[in-house]
């Protein structure tokens, strides 16, 4: 059992306005996911290759229960998450565990709302407590999954900062 | 590598022996981890040891914050480029 209580971790919330309809925004976000996602810097292959390689493709399957995954040049797949709610054009919710394990996956919700500039896109990354509990356990020394998540994510961030 | 460091502090030579990567790759990875303050190093005799730091969890959330900012910026740029072209992209 963790010695310390798991801290409450507020969700990450990001907003952007795009000049198109919510229907288009939803489609661009999901169907075209692999076309806009920064794969060269934010993917499992990019991290594990020290940013020398990137995935061949990245796919966002267009349905509830669909997978979000990257595919390497040799066809190897790495799943980033699974679609929990598929509600075009308003909302999509998916689990998120690109560098971790499904059991500690967080949740990402993306909402698309008509706004004066076109469509307001609000992304909320929550359920950090699932990872927090694991971090606590890792600190107590009897769980292994945390380091791969924390280590690779943060190390990549640090690499990005160092390179900037 | 972090799993190895979790069990006990290791020196570069030992990590290179245990991992399927070259010693320079191990050194480079350790440099990144050290910059990220995930590992700390100390000398013992002639050897340089690396050990895992317990770190504040909020830093991972901070990483996610910057990652999603980058991702949404890329998304907005993509939408702009789509709207600029006169035909629908298939």
User: How sure is the predictor about A117, in pLDDT bands with cuts at 50, 70 and 90?
Assistant: very high
For residue A94, is pLDDT > 90? yes
- Residues A31-58 have pLDDT tens digits of 999 999 999 988 888 877 888 899 999 9
Distance CA B59, CA B70 (A): 17
ipTM confidence score:
0.78
Interface test with A, best of B3, B40, B82 (most A CBs within 10 A): B82
- Determine how β-strand A118-126 pairs with β-strand B39-44: unpaired
Report the residue of chain A nearest B33, measured CA to CA.
A155
Please classify residue A156 by burial: count the beta carbons closer than 10 Å to its beta carbon, then call 0-12 exposed, 13-18 middle and 19+ buried.
buried
Site from A104, A154, A156, A160 to mutate, B interface, most B CB atoms within 10 angstroms: A154
What's domain A12-163's superfamily in CATH? START domain (3.30.530.20)
Q: What is the pTM of this model?
A: 0.66
Q: Is B27 on the interface with A (CB under 8 A)?
A: no
Tell me what pLDDT residue A142 has: 37
Q: How far is B9 from chain A, CA to nearest CA, in Å? A: 14
Instruction: Output A119 or B85, whichever has higher pLDDT.
Output: A119
**In this complex, is the C-beta atom of B42 within 8 Å of any C-beta atom belonging to chain A?**
no
Radius of gyration of chain A (CA): 17
Phi, psi of A139 (to 5 degrees): -65, -35
DSSP code of B53? P
A20/B65 Cβ within 8 A = no
Distance CA B65, CA B63 (A): 5
Between residues A85 and A146, which one has the greater pLDDT? A85
Helix (H) or strand (E) holding B88: none
CA-based nearest residue to A79, from A68, A65, A63, A88:
A68
Backbone angles phi, psi at B59, to 5 degrees: -70, -30
- Bigger pLDDT: B6 vs A30: A30
pLDDT of residue A153: 52
- Distance of residue B56 Cα from the nearest chain A Cα, in angstroms: 9
Which positions ≥6 away from A127 have C-beta within 8 Å?
A11, A105, A106, A107
Sequence-ordered strand ranges (E) for B1-90? 10-11, 39-44, 47-52
| Cβ <8 Å between A128 and B6 | no
């Amino acid at each position: 059992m963790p010695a310390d209580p798991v801290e409450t971790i507020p969700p990450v919330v990001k907003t952007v306005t795009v000049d198109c309809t919510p229907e288009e925004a939803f489609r661009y976000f999901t169907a075209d996911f692999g076309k806009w996602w920064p794969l060269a810097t934010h993917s499992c292959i990019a991290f594990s290759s020290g940013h020398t390689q990137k995935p061949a493709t990245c796919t966002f399957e267009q349905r509830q229960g669909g997978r979000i995954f990257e595919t390497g040049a040799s066809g190897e797949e790495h799943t980033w998450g699974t679609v929990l709610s598929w509600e075009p054009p308003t909302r999509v919710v998916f689990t998120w565990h690109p560098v971790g394990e499904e059991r500690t996956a967080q949740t990402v919700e993306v909402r698309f709302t008509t706004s004066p500039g076109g469509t307001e896109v609000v992304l909320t990354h929550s359920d950090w407590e699932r990872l927090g509990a694991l971090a606590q356990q890792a600190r107590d020394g009897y769980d292994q999954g945390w380091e791969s998540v924390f280590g690779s994510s943060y190390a990549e961030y640090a690499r990005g900062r160092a390179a900037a | 590598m972090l799993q190895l460091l979790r069990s006990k502090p290791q020196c570069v030579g030992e990590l290179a022996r245990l991992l399927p990567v070259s010693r320079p790759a191990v050194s480079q990875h350790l440099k990144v981890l050290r910059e990220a303050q995930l590992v700390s190093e100390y000398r013992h005799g002639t050897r340089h040891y690396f050990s895992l730091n317990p770190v504040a969890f909020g830093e991972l959330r901070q990483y996610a914050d910057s990652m999603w900012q980058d991702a949404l910026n890329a998304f907005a740029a993509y939408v702009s480029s789509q709207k600029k072209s006169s035909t629908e992209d298939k």
